[in-house]
Amino acid sequence: MKRAIKETGDGARRADRDRKAFSLIELLVVIAIIGVLLAIALPALSYARRQAAVAQSMSNVRGVAVIFDSYQSSEGVYPFLPAGGWLRVGPSGSGGLVSSTNPWSLRLMWPALMHDVAPWESHYASWLNRRADRGERPWIDPEGRTLWPSYFYTRSFQARPEAWQASASAPPWQGEEADLLKPVGLSDVRFPSSKAIVVDRRREYLPRDLDARRGKPRAVGSVDGAVSMRHNRDATAPVSNAVDGADPLVYDDTPGGVRGRDY
């Protein structure tokens, strides 16, 4: 009887050890499966986040293009600031006034002309990419300075078409600079579906590493309101402008200015 009891006890201990060993194997298998699932899911989630950010950028760029069209419909010309003109930096009724002699100041500071067309309080958040969200006062950065938008107004619209040679064979501008720094209207645009008016230059949703950003497309809004993701390499080669000779940039320095085409 004692021997039987002993054998029964030894069997129970072995069974308990087997159960523990089996439980450990099960745990390792579960961990391995979770690892595989994470390896599959994380890239998919990362891709989904990027696609959501791209969709948001395109939507915001489309909204800015509509605002520029509304401004043009109201004023008869696209946003323009004469040299030395004043801009209100802040929501309508608040903020200070600044003056700029930079002929391309509206490239970044265009919101300062939009107080009547698009009040900052209800629109400014949509002028920034998601990573740049700043809460109730999105136009203020953490240091208390003005945070200008992610989307740039192309400088083709801030001077007359003659500021940009229409082709390599065209003679350079020989007149006065003041004759170039004048507003343009919709009638000056020959290819509304092929001329960029607003571009997502910042793309804050991308990694900050330059190598990771290089070659990635950006949201580009055309005069006709269409928006698409485009690569810089596919755009029309830019030319120097006759105003200040700044380094030419795609979409900004289109041959022929607003009369030319970017794609």
User: Which pair of tokens denotes residue 261?
Assistant: 């085409």
pLDDT reported for residue 5: 45
* Residue 4 confidence (pLDDT): 46
Give the integer Cα–Cα distance in Å for 200 and 220.
6
The one-letter amino acid at 111: P
pLDDT per residue over 65-82, tens digit each? 999 999 999 999 999 999
Question: d(Cα 234, Cα 147) in Å, to the nearest integer?
Answer: 30
pLDDT score for 137 = 87
- Rounded CA-CA distance 65/67 in Å is 5
The alpha carbon dihedral of 56, 248, 232, 156 has a sign of: positive
pLDDT beneath 70: ranges in the chain: 1-22, 24, 37-38, 41-48, 131-134, 168-175
User: What is the predicted pLDDT for the residue at 2?
Assistant: 46
Instruction: Name, in order, each residue with C-beta under 8 angstroms of 78's C-beta and a sequence gap of 6 or more.
Output: 68, 71, 72, 157, 183, 184, 185, 186, 197
pLDDT at 186: 98
What phi and psi, each to the nearest 5 degrees, are found at residue 111? -60, -25
Q: Encoding tokens for residue 76?
A: 């008869």
pLDDT at 96: 83
Rounded Cα–Cα distance for residues 179 and 173 (Å): 10
